[in-house]
Amino acid sequence: MGNAQGAGVSQGNTPTVESYRAGLKSIVIPSPTDELSEMGSDYRVLIETLVPATNRLVAAFTRPDDIQTVLVGADRPLPKYALVEILRRAEFADMDEKIFKTVADNMGSQFGATLDSGMKNAQEDLNRNLKQLNPDAAGISLDKPLLLGTLFVKKDVCSFGAIMPVSAKGVTTRMVMEMTLLRVQNRLLFLYFYNAYKDESTAQWVRKTSEQWADAILTANKQ
């Protein structure tokens, strides 16, 4: 994994920005916020419990204080984190602008149905993986999400959002989930940003931060 220097999403000290493999491509991915750090290859494998089997985890960003939660396989959601994924079957496939638009349009029309249909499998996969990390884990329930619809669309970017209730040990946490389809270096990446919901401003902040993150990745990979 190579390293590159570049500007982060938000203002402040210039961080180190790393590149990550996507097929034969090396894609630079800055952190979505200053408080989130990429976990690194040793810890990243632990958070793959959150990734469906159809996808490969490319990068994972968490708050340093939340690393211990991941290490013990705790059955509660992280309050704030971001994932970058790629479809395993399409990792080596080139995607031009026309194909991306078709994929984004289809996702826009089917986002609700796709999210609902994937919830059961996602819950089963998540709990099975959690049990492997922590046999005493009580399990997590993913309840019916509240769809926020399309959040923003621009060249090579399309974003959707939802508020997802996540229940564990009788406690339900509502998480704002934002998913961005991003075409970069002719590869299709899925960016996921999660933040515990407090009020309406949480969803607005997630939308703004996710758009800045997508823009930062495209800027970092300009050739």
pLDDT tens per residue across span 37-86: 999 988 888 888 778 888 999 999 999 888 877 776 556 678 999 999 99
Query: At a CB cut-off of 8 Å and minimum separation 6, what does 96 contact?
Result: 186
pLDDT tens per residue across span 110-159: 776 666 555 566 666 666 666 666 666 666 667 788 889 899 999 999 99
Spatial CA neighbour of 57 closest among 129, 116, 165: 129
Q: What is the pLDDT of residue 208?
A: 97
Q: What is the pLDDT of residue 3?
A: 35
Q: Is the pLDDT of residue 99 over 70?
A: yes
Torsion angle of alpha carbons 198, 201, 204, 210, nearest 10°? -50
- The reply to whether the predicted model has a pTM over 0.85 is no
Distance CA 158, CA 131 (A): 34
Domain residue extents for the chain: 3-220
Residues in the chain: 223
